């Protein structure tokens, strides 16, 4: 097997490449050739294809998400805005809070336990990478019909996965949602949120600067997780044997992640990192290109130094591996020794894999031979952007006209009784204790409010009682009826839930779960929801600080209900003044606010 080096690519410009199998479009492949002025090497093709995927590049959603910045309300609270791993909000007393919600929908359908578990793991690393100690998680979930046989497979697995991972990390679960609707049958929604706390001066960003600084990969060894797609590269370009069978499923190791958290926090405490990035969806491709793209110089990486779990991995596979529980840090040479010592203390494997250069290229080597030479921005931040066509569906009017007034009314006491019983015993109204009992809500000893409260609340300073509250809400049925109003209702509900707990709402994160962006109906729903959230946030004075877009949520041609899930974060000076939902004592008066 010959290595597809940069030099080799220059000399073999006409070699056909499996760009389509990797999900690239003809014009995207052409653009890569134009950027490089030659054909990409296999490793470069691997990087571009993952980084330009919908999941990493937001190519269909970007034009709409821009409104969150353009219409952002004036606020002094925002310390770090959209674009970083997670937004950071000033909550006073020198504290900053970061929070973000992400989806892990498709993996959770394939392998519910591991899909949900690694979803929690991923969002926790995002929060950690900002410099924060993760302090709580939440999990808005949506499943198919409660009595459908496949729900029996998916729901217990997802709940056990969320709990198994979060409990083992020691993160209290302070809220979430469980919704059943047949539209999620083949496509459950597993959204996970994490909240982290730090002091202002501890904020860290994902950028590689300072020529000579070292690039350190630390955490789990790299294995073949989640690289099903890229196997075609290993086979078709270099080797005519059949593609090696690689697991598409990522398996989580929460114990490793717990060590990674404690180790990273100790590294932050000693001020040993310049820039840091977690390894998420696109693994090393993403971490190296994003760090280099956001920084001032270039980067050089010796890929063969990456510690492997499976010695047979090709360089392309190493670049694309989605093995969990890994982080990448930029460290000044003088601090490397101490960095490695702390990793050793926590039994975390750490390896210097490269360094920041004074050039402007991302260069990757394999046993001394160059296999990647790209401008990092073109990989990480200047991917394709699509203006997908969208239009209000022609069925929308009929849907809206078909309102509840047309439904038969219960006639007489018996029918009314039956209707009331049906309502309160429906799975969407029933107690969620079967789920929430499997989640640790007490760990860390700072939980002020958790289930069955409308929002979760965490104390962040023991001496002053400063705290934060977070609520997540969403209603796909409302959003289907009218995506604009539905999205705003979700925002308003989360906002109210935070306010009702006694906290002042400060910031918003969202997870936009929609069908295929190639369907103009879906694209319209998406556009409407974005416009609604941007308008709503402006009106309420709470900026969107980050979030996640999950598209292609559909079974065959049928999309899920458009499901924007909105999280609102609020601050409360003194958690002893929180307002729980229960009546506190006899004789209290009930008021109804609003109309």
Catalytic residue positions, numbered: 55, 104
State the number of binding residues for ligand ADP (CB under 6 A): 15
- From CA 47, how far away is CA 545, in angstroms rounded? 27
Which partner from the list another protein, ligand ADP, none does 442 bind, CB cut-off 5 to 8 Å by kind?
another protein
State the number of binding residues for another protein (CB under 8 A): 48
Q: Binding another protein by CB under 8 A: which of 93, 209, 438, 554?
A: 438
Residue 404 neighbours by CB under 8 Å, 6+ apart: none
Residue among 154, 312, 341, 194 at smallest CA distance from 244: 312
Any idea which residue has 């674009």 for tokens?
Answer: 83
Q: Binding another protein by CB under 8 A: which of 35, 443, 481, 500?
A: 443
Which partner from the list ligand ADP, another protein, none does 402 bind, CB cut-off 5 to 8 Å by kind?
none
Are the beta carbons of 498 and 579 closer than 8 angstroms? no
Return the number of other C-beta atoms located less than 10 Å from residue 125's C-beta. 25
248 - beta bridge partners? Answer: none
Q: Give the contact letters, 102-141, x = binds to another protein (CB under 8 A), - = no.
A: --------xx--x---------------------------
**567 touching ligand ADP, by CB under 6 A:** no
Q: Binding ligand ADP by CB under 6 A: which of 17, 49, 173, 446?
A: 173
Whole-number minimum distance, CB 310 to another protein, in Å? 6
510 - beta bridge partners? Answer: 547, 566
Cβ-based burial of 454 (10 A; exposed 0-12, middle 13-18, buried ≥19): buried
**176 touching ligand ADP, by CB under 6 A:** yes
**435 touching ligand ADP, by CB under 6 A:** yes
**290 touching ligand ADP, by CB under 6 A:** no
Stretch that binds another protein, among 247-255, 266-274, 360-368, 419-427 (CB under 8 A): 247-255
Which partner from the list another protein, ligand ADP, none does 176 bind, CB cut-off 5 to 8 Å by kind?
ligand ADP
**Which residues in 374-403 are b (16+ Cβ under 10 Å) and which e?**
bbbbbbbeebeebebebeeeeebeeeeeee
CA atoms within 13 A on the CB side of 558: 7
372 - beta bridge partners? Answer: 364
**287 touching ligand ADP, by CB under 6 A:** no
**What CA–CA distances, in Å, run from 233 to 47, 313, 316?**
11, 12, 7
**151 touching ligand ADP, by CB under 6 A:** no
**427 touching ligand ADP, by CB under 6 A:** no
Q: What is the DSSP pairing of strand 298-302 with strand 362-366?
A: parallel
Residue ranges in contact with another protein by CB under 8 A: 110-111, 114, 160, 163-164, 167-170, 220, 223-225, 245-247, 249, 251, 253-256, 258-259, 309-310, 323, 346-347, 436-448, 459, 462, 575-576, 578
Residue ranges in contact with ligand ADP by CB under 6 A: 139, 141, 173, 175-178, 432, 435-436, 439, 451-454
């Amino acid at each position: 097997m010959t290595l597809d080096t940069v030099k080799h690519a220059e000399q073999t410009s006409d070699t056909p490449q499996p760009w389509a199998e990797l999900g690239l479009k003809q014009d995207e492949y052409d653009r890569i050739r134009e950027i490089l002025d030659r054909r990409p090497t296999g490793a470069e093709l691997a990087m571009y294809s993952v980084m330009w995927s919908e999941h990493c590049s937001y190519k269909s959603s970007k034009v709409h998400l821009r409104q969150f910045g353009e219409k952002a309300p004036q606020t002094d609270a925002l310390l770090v805005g959209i674009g970083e791993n997670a937004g950071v909000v000033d909550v006073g007393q020198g504290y900053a809070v970061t929070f973000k919600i992400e989806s892990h929908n498709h993996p959770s359908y394939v392998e519910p336990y591991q899909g949900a578990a690694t979803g929690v793991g991923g969002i926790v690393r995002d929060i950690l990478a900002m410099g924060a100690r993760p302090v709580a998680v939440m999990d808005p979930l949506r499943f198919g019909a409660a009595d459908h046989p496949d729900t029996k497979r998916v729901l217990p697995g997802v709940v056990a996965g969320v709990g198994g991972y979060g409990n083992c990390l020691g993160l209290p679960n302070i809220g979430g949602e469980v919704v059943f609707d047949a539209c999620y049958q083949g496509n459950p929604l597993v959204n996970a949120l994490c909240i982290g706390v730090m002091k202002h001066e501890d904020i860290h960003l994902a950028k590689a600067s300072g020529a000579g600084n070292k690039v350190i990969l630390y955490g789990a060894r790299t294995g073949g997780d989640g690289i099903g797609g890229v196997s075609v590269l290993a086979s078709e370009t270099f080797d005519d044997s059949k593609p090696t069978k690689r697991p598409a499923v990522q398996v989580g190791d929460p114990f490793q992640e717990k060590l990674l958290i404690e180790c990273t926090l100790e590294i932050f405490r000693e001020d040993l990192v310049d820039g840091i990035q977690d390894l998420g969806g696109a693994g090393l491709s993403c971490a190296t290109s994003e760090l280099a793209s956001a920084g001032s110089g270039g980067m050089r990486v010796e890929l063969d130094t990456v510690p492997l779990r499976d010695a047979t991995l090709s360089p392309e596979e190493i670049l694309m591996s989605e093995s969990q529980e890994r982080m990448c840090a930029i460290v000044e040479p003088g601090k490397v020794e101490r960095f490695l010592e702390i990793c050793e203390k926590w039994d975390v494997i750490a390896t210097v894999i490269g360094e920041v250069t004074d050039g402007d290229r991302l260069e990757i080597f394999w046993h001394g031979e160059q296999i990647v030479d790209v401008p990092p921005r073109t990989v990480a931040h200047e991917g394709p952007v699509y203006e997908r066509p969208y239009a209000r569906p022609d069925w929308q009017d009929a849907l809206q006209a078909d309102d509840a007034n047309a439904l038969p009314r219960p006639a007489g006491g018996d029918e009314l009784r039956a209707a009331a019983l049906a309502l309160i015993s429906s799975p969407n109204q029933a107690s969620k204790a079967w789920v929430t009992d499997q989640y640790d809500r007490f760990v860390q000893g700072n939980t002020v409010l958790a289930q069955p409260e409308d929002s979760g609340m965490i104390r962040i300073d023991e001496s002053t009682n400063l705290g934060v509250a977070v609520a997540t809400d969403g209603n796909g049925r409302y959003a289907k009826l009218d995506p604009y109003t539905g999205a705003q209702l979700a925002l308003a509900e989360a906002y109210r839930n935070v306010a009702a707990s006694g906290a002042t709402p400060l910031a918003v994160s969202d997870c936009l779960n929609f069908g295929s962006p190639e369907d103009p109906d879906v694209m319209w729903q998406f556009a409407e929801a974005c416009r609604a959230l941007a308008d709503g946030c402006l009106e309420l004075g709470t900026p969107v600080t980050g979030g996640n877009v999950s598209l292609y949520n559909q079974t065959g041609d049928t999309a899920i209900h458009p499901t924007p899930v909105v999280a609102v974060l609020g601050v409360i000076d003194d958690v002893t003044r929180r307002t729980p939902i229960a009546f506190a004592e006899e004789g209290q008066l009930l008021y109804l606010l609003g109309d």
